[in-house]
Amino acid sequence: MTTAAIIGGGVIGGGWAARFLLNGWDVRVFDPDPEAERKIGEVLDNARRSLPGLGNVALPPEGALTFHATIAEAVEGAAWVQESVPERLDLKQKVYGELQQHCGADAVIGSSTSGFKPSELQDGRGNASQIVVAHPFNPVYLLPLIELVGTEANPADVIARAKEIISGIGMYPLHVRKEIDAHIADRFLEAVWREALWLVKDGIASTEEIDNAIRYGFGIRWAQMGLFETYRVAGGEAGMKHFMAQFGPCLTAPWTKLMDVPEFTDELVDLIADQSDEQSGMHSIRELERIRDDNLVGMMRAMSANDWGAGALQNAQDKAREGEAGLLSHVDQMVDLAQPVLTLNRTVPLDWTDYNGHMTESRYLDAFANATDRLMIMIGCDAEYIASGGSYFTAETHIRHIDEVHAGHAIQVKTQVIMGAGKKMHLWHEMFEGDRLLATGEHMLLHVDLATRRSAPPAPHVEAALVKLAEAHAALAAPAGLGRAIGAPR
C-alpha cells in the first residue's frame, strides 16, 4: 500500500486526506489542532458520501488513516507529502526544514499554497528538487484540478512522478510552465472577486444577485467549456476571430476596476457578511457542503455522458480502474468459466435515489443494462463491432426488487448466461451488496443487423464466445425466479 503524509488537516488538508484515502492510499496526518481528527472525520464523511458515486466503477479498498504527534512520524515511508499549513512563508519554510530531515529523499513534497511561488518555498532548502506547488481546489476530494508548478530546480523525473501520482488518484495535473504569483486559476478568481467587491460596495448588486449572475449564466458555461471555447462558440460559424473582432474593442472601455482595489474597511466587511448571512444563513456549513457536493457530482456525471470536460477525465479514470475492480474485457480472461460473470462493480451515486430514499426503479434497469453492456464487450460485441454494423437489442426484461438499495451502497452484478446460441442471448443478472441479494434482472436480447434493423446471426467470433459461456453456465442450477411472471408465486 502506498503512503501519503498530510501536514495540516484543515479544509484543504482534510480534502487531500480523503482523496488519497478513498483511492486506496494509506494516509498519515500531522496537525497540532486537538480538533483535527474530528474535522477530518467530517470531511471524510462528505467524501465517502459523494466521491465513490462520481464514477461508474468501484473505487479500490480504502486505505488506513492514522494521526501522528510529530512530523517525523507522519512522513515516515511517505511517497507523497502534502503541506497545507496556513499561508505564511516563514511557517511553511520552517515546516519544510523539519519534514526534510525525516522524509525520503525521493518523496515528492507538494504545497497547497495558492499564493507563493515554488522558488520561494524552495529557498534555502537542501533538497529543493523535491518541493513543488500542488495547488488544489475545494472540495479536493471532488474537484480534479491541481496546478502543478515547479522551477529549474525540479528535474523532469520529479515533475513526471508528481503527474503520475496526481493522475492516479483521479485528478488533473495542470503543469504551469512558468511560476507566477497566484498561479493561473486564482488570478481569474481574484479578478472576479475584485469586481464583485466593487459591485457590492457601490450598491449595484447584493451578494446573492452577484452569485445568481454567475450560477444562472456564464458559470454553467465555464464549468463545461471554459473561457476560450465558450467565446469561440459565441462567435458563431466565423469562430473566435469574429468574436474578437466584434467584442475586442470593448476591452478599451472603462468597464472594470481591475487596477483599482476597494478599501477593505470594516463597513465593507460587515455589509458583505450581513448580505451573505441573509442569502444562505438558513443552512449550516455542513449542509451547504453536501448541497455543493450533490450539484458537483450531478454536473460532472452529466458531462461524463458526453465524454466532456471533467466528465471525460472521470471516464478515463473509470477505464483505468476496471481491472482493479475485477471487470474483464474478454471471456478468455476468466479464470473460472463455470461461475457467473462479474459485470458491474460500482457505488450507487447520489442522483440514483428517489423520494423514498432508495434507488429509483429506472436505475435498477440502468445498472442491469450496464451489466449487459459489459457482457457484450466480453464476447466481442464492443464499440468497434457495433460500428461495423452488428449489435444486440433487448426484446424483453423482467426485474424483481428484493431489498432496498441506498446511495453510497457498493453494489455488484453477477451474470449467468442462460442461452447463447444463434441470434438469441438470454441473461440472468443478480445484484448484490456483499452477500445481500438486492434484485434480479432477466433479459432476452436478439442480435440485429444495424443496416436493416432486423434480427440476424452474430459474427462467428461473437457467437463462439457467447456459446462458450452458455455451455459453461449450463452446469449451474437454474436461478430461483427464472421465467417467473409478475405476481406469480416463487
Q: How far does CA 225 lie from the centroid of its chain? A: 17
How far apart, in whole angstroms, are the C-alpha atoms of residue 350 and residue 331? 32
Return the C-alpha torsion angle 47, 184, 320, 307, nearest 10.
90
Do the beta carbons of residue 272 and residue 207 sit within 8 Å? yes
How far apart, in whole angstroms, are the C-alpha atoms of residue 30 and residue 440? 47
CA distances to 24, 51, 301, 350, 381 from 293, rounded to whole Å, are 21, 9, 12, 9, 36
Amino acid at 88: R
Distance, first Cα to last Cα, the chain: 46
Residue 8 known to bind ligand:
yes
How far apart, in whole angstroms, are the C-alpha atoms of residue 185 and residue 460? 53
Alpha helices, DSSP H, located in 281-353: 285-305, 309-321
How far apart, in whole angstroms, are the C-alpha atoms of residue 94 and residue 437? 55
Do the beta carbons of residue 75 and residue 99 sit within 8 Å? yes
Do the beta carbons of residue 20 and residue 60 sit within 8 Å? no
Do the beta carbons of residue 109 and residue 81 sit within 8 Å? yes
Cell numbers linked to 13: 488538508
Residue 13 known to bind ligand:
yes
Partners of residue 67 on adjacent β-strands: 29
Containing 206, the helix (H) or strand (E) segment is none
How far apart, in whole angstroms, are the C-alpha atoms of residue 279 and residue 103? 46
Closest CA to 296 of 215, 231, 353, 407: 215
The residue behind cell 504545497 is: 111
Residue 12 known to bind ligand:
yes
DSSP 96-133: HHHHTTTS-TT-EEEE--SS--HHHHHTT-TTGGGEEE
Which residues are annotated as part of the binding site for NAD(+)? Answer: 8-13
Which residues are annotated as part of the binding site? Answer: 8-13
